[in-house]
Amino acid sequence: MKDEFSFIRSIQPDRHHQPTVVAGIGDDAALYDAEEGFHEIAAVDTLVEDMHFTKKTMTPFHIGYKALAVNVSDIAAMGGRPVYYLVSVSVPKSGSWSEAELQEMYKGMTVLADEYGVDLIGGDTNATNDKLVVSVTVIGRVEKGVRLLRSNAKPGDVVFVTGPVGSSAAGLHYLLEGDDCPEHYLKAHQMPEPQVSAGRLLAQAGGRIALNDISDGLASEANEIAEASGVTVEIDWSRVPHDLHGETDEYVEKWTLFGGEDFQLIGCTGQQTWERLTESFEKNGQRLIRIGRVVEGKREVFLLKNGERTVLKKGGYNHFVKGD
């Protein structure tokens, strides 16, 4: 990158989706109006080259797309709609990333942002001595009174997911091995679809709902709900949806339970709300799959498989656990 300021001008949007934007990129900070009757939601994720992504498995376009998708998924898990995002990029001084590649990365973000009507309103661009670092913050909104928190689960609840899990991990495996990657695995890994529409249906359903997005793996997210709510979650393996047909049982279980980055939603709710939800989702042509139940007990998760009930530990991705 020859000039930081010309680059910033080149990625500055020429229009806004949201009428609440007063001033975006071009001043010291963004200025926008908040809508009355809504909670503001903020989510941030930082992606580091060779830890969260690599050019071996992702093009710059896909890296940008996914960097924004990670945060949009967090907004979906709160039942909200994303409205603004900010991007901070630390570019290696080595020149390992060209300005053209960085432009492609921003194009990937723009494609997803346009799909959900999200506006880029600011960020930061600087240099680093090592790897590319991309940090994205997304701001969303949800109606006041809607709190789809991990701590909302209670004994007797239905446990559900919004779609199949494991395909993103399968895609990563095939890409790293250098094998031909089935198209639906490739798309699941490089261009995952945040479940904003499903999150909005859940927010509008009323009733008590615990919710989490599946970013670090089904086992990890289920354990987060169990820990936050002080309950035991039981998952019925025979009900867990996946599109891993033709794979070995070992890989299916590994990718489905511990793979992560599917960005489906996992939730818990009472029977009456569940019945309303299934009707609402069916009317909207969307999926909602029952995979288990919540019972009284310690803050843990059990997997029911082949007549056995075994503890399902967090697993999934953890930055600070050796070997992950």
Q: Are 208 and 273 in contact (CB under 8 A)?
A: yes
Cα 18 to the chain's mean position, in Å? 22
Residue numbers in the known binding site for ATP are 106, 123-124, 150, 215
Q: Which helix (H) or strand (E) holds 288?
A: none
Residue numbers in the known binding site for substrate are 52, 261, 317
Tokens of 315: 């697993």
Place of tokens 């139940």: 293
User: CA angle, 189 as apex, 187 and 194 as ends, to 5°?
Assistant: 85
Round to whole Å and give the CA distance between 222 and 267: 8
Given strand 265-269, what is the order of strands in its sheet?
209-213, 265-269, 158-161, 289-295, 232-236, 300-305, 308-311
Sign of CA dihedral 311, 317, 318, 324: positive
Longest Cα separation, the chain: 63
Residue numbers in the known binding site are 28, 45, 52, 74, 106, 123-124, 150, 213, 215-216, 261, 317
